[in-house]
Structure 1
Amino acid sequence: MATIQCKVEVPAVEGLNENEITVGREILLACEGEFPKNLDQEKLHFVLKPEMKYKIHLLKFEFRSSTAADITATAYKAGEIQIDDLQLSDGTQTLSLGAIQYGVQSVLPKQAPGAPEVKQEPFGPFGPAQLSVPMLYWAMLAAFIGLVILLVVAKIYRVVQRRNMLQRLKEHDSALSPLAQFHQSFRKLQRINSVFFGVAASKEDIQTCLEDTNKMLKLFLTRRYQVPALEWNDRLILKDLKKHHPKVHQHFGDDLKKLLNEYSRGFQDKENLKEQDVLNIATSTRHLVEEMERMS
């Protein structure tokens, strides 16, 4: 066990009496000796008997040099403190700091003679750092509750949206099946849009082809799988298919995700779209819709 020599000092604090140790006031143990080089400062603690628990408490350990260190401590109980051999340990190594003796004054008003004794309960350190913990706790709790409420509201909103969508399906109702309606709209677009003529198409026709085939795809998904594809974003569409039509999602989820991403990139980069770009997207859309219908 390494032996260190320490002396007790009382750091000056404005408003407090010099060299007077009161409950909760910091005291400094200025120590010199041979300290182990591999001392784990994060795990340091005083080795104390239960009855000494509130008489000294380690706050901070700091090296001044390889042979000198400052130990900041405090006491939570008033009285004359005498420790014959104060020991400091990191759980692996134990240092003997020698005998320590000091007196701690109560911060409570002195009692008049004959007055009933007021028992002083030990209390922990106080200061701004301790006061900030409850505020942080409540802020984190409020954020968590807010997140839960937001998720619940979003869930309810999507359920209501799906219910309303089922009612609005009548607006898209047709004597044609979802696939037949898709083919009818696709053939009509092929007849009037120059993207399908094998010649240079106008910017307007390129964008119209992208928008119309995207709407055809989402109308097919809406009617065939009863998912609000015309209103929801791509992530929610895929999530709904996975929940309500797992077999379809298993076989076509990746292809549908890839196709929806192609549309998304096309809408974001309209100025650079070429005829062949939207023609490829349109063809991929028709093939995927036909494959999904064949499986259903």
Structure 2
Amino acid sequence: MNSDSTMEEKLPQWECHFEKYKKDLNDLTVGDKFTLVCTGDELQELKKPLTIQFPAEDKNLEYTLNVLEVGSLSNTRVDLVVTSYKPKHYSNYQVRIEGNGVMFLTSPLEFDIKSVLKEGEQPQLKGPAGPLELSLPVWYWLGWGCFAILLLWLIVSRYRKYSQRKRVVDELTQFKTALTPFQFYNKEVRKLQRMANMKESARKEDFNESLFLAKLDENVRMYLVREFKVPAHQWSSKETMAEIKKRHRIIYEEFGAKIKRWLFEIDKLKKNEACSFYDCEQIAEMGVQIGGKIQSFKNKRGIK
């Protein structure tokens, strides 16, 4: 370098050379890292950060050599990780290295930087890039998948309940009888009691527990179907109570606890798959009392 010769004559000159970083020095291209090692007389105040200084009047030297990081630093040795952004064969190349206001001049260097473009290839200008396709983590897609499955399940569940209830209403309209839901339940329970000889016979050994429980459960749920127009024979007790609460708020507030208790007792007996003579009698009579009170309540309030 010919510029700033007066200043350079006053600077100490260190012996410098290049060493391999990852790629061989003969295969360096624009942006590749390589190591600059300099040693020389002691410079007491030489400290980080270190930069390469070019003559202000020579703009062509900018970006020919740039410090990326300081590998090691002492008063007599400097190891720098450097790169170059200008493809060219450099010879008799000298620069000043400065740190904390202290500078030294490198010995003449020689290195070769190749272009990343193939010979004869011209750089192509590209328009603005479209939306970036970001790789999203697996949990993101799993979360959306679970949400979609849950949403689909809710839609199917709602539609299933709606169609079941509509079918019940249509069937009740088609097979409408002169008896009220309570009267129909009372008639069926009395018939069941006579069949089981619960009233007329003292021979309790003739009582068929499993059969009576199955018939009683059917009569209870069909009463709820006719009284509240909910598919209680297809739904669980919990679903049935939720629908009664939703569509028959006034009756639920008055009798909800009693109906829930009634269904709870039946479900408990069904779990045991049998009921004693006394238990079945109590469940049957509980339904008669609840049904009678609901019918009286509806008559007083004018509820159809």
Q: For 2:204 and 2:270, how far apart are their aligned partners in 1?
A: 17
Q: For 1:158 and 1:142, how far apart are their aligned partners in 2?
A: 24
Change (3 A) 1:151 1:190: same
Q: For 2:271 and 2:291, how far apart are their aligned partners in 1?
A: 24
Counterpart in the other structure of 1:79: 68
Q: For 1:258 and 1:103, how far apart are their aligned partners in 2?
A: 84
Normalised by the length of structure 2, the TM-score is 0.53
Q: If you compute each CA radius of gyration, which structure gives the higher value, 1 or 2?
A: 2
CA contact (8 A) 1:193 1:205 kept: yes
Counterpart in the other structure of 2:296: 294
Deviation of 1:149 (Å):
1.0
Q: For 1:147 and 1:213, how far apart are their aligned partners in 2?
A: 36
CA contact (8 A) 1:195 1:209 kept: no
Deviation of 1:116 (Å):
8.7
CA contact (8 A) 2:70 2:81 kept: yes
One-letter identity of the residue aligned with 1:280: Q
Change (3 A) 1:269 1:160: same
Deviation of 1:241 (Å):
0.6
Deviation of 1:211 (Å):
2.1
Deviation of 1:207 (Å):
2.3
4+ aligned runs moved over 6 Å, structure 1: 101-106
Q: For 1:160 and 1:80, how far apart are their aligned partners in 2?
A: 72
CA contact (8 A) 1:194 1:205 kept: no
Q: For 1:176 and 1:292, how far apart are their aligned partners in 2?
A: 15
CA contact (8 A) 1:195 1:205 kept: no
Q: For 2:251 and 2:82, how far apart are their aligned partners in 1?
A: 78
Deviation of 1:288 (Å):
1.2
CA contact (8 A) 1:218 1:230 kept: yes
Counterpart in the other structure of 2:240: 237
Deviation of 1:232 (Å):
1.6
Counterpart in the other structure of 1:251: 254
CA contact (8 A) 2:230 2:244 kept: yes
Deviation of 1:229 (Å):
1.4
One-letter identity of the residue aligned with 1:283: E
Q: For 2:79 and 2:197, how far apart are their aligned partners in 1?
A: 97
Structure 2 runs not aligned, ≥5 long: 1-20, 23-66, 72-77, 89-113, 118-122, 124-134, 299-304
Change (3 A) 1:195 1:145: same
Root-mean-square deviation (CA), in Å? Answer: 3.7
Counterpart in the other structure of 1:187: 190
Change (3 A) 1:228 1:197: same
Does the residue aligned with 1:195 lie in a helix, a strand or coil? coil
Deviation of 1:284 (Å):
1.1
Counterpart in the other structure of 2:154: 151
Deviation of 1:102 (Å):
9.4
CA contact (8 A) 1:222 1:230 kept: yes
Give per-residue Cα distances to partners, 1:159-194, cap 9 Å, x unaligned: 111111111114653222212212221222222213
Deviation of 1:112 (Å):
3.5
One-letter identity of the residue aligned with 1:189: L
Pick from 273, 276, 280: which aligns with 1:274? 276
Deviation of 1:294 (Å):
1.6
Matches within 5 A, 1:86-105: none
Structure 1 runs not aligned, ≥5 long: 1-15, 18-77, 83-100, 119-130
Normalised by the length of structure 1, the TM-score is 0.55
| Corresponding position: 1:263 with 2:252 | no
CA contact (8 A) 2:197 2:207 kept: no
Q: How many residues align?
A: 190
Matches within 5 A, 1:94-243: 112-113=87-88, 115=115, 134-170=137-173, 172-197=175-200, 199-202=202-205, 205-243=208-246
Give per-residue Cα distances to partners, 1:48-96, cap 9 Å, x unaligned: xxxxxxxxxxxxxxxxxxxxxxxxxxxxxx92269xxxxxxxxxxxxxx
Give per-residue Cα distances to partners, 1:249-286, cap 9 Å, x unaligned: 11221221121111111111125x31111111111111
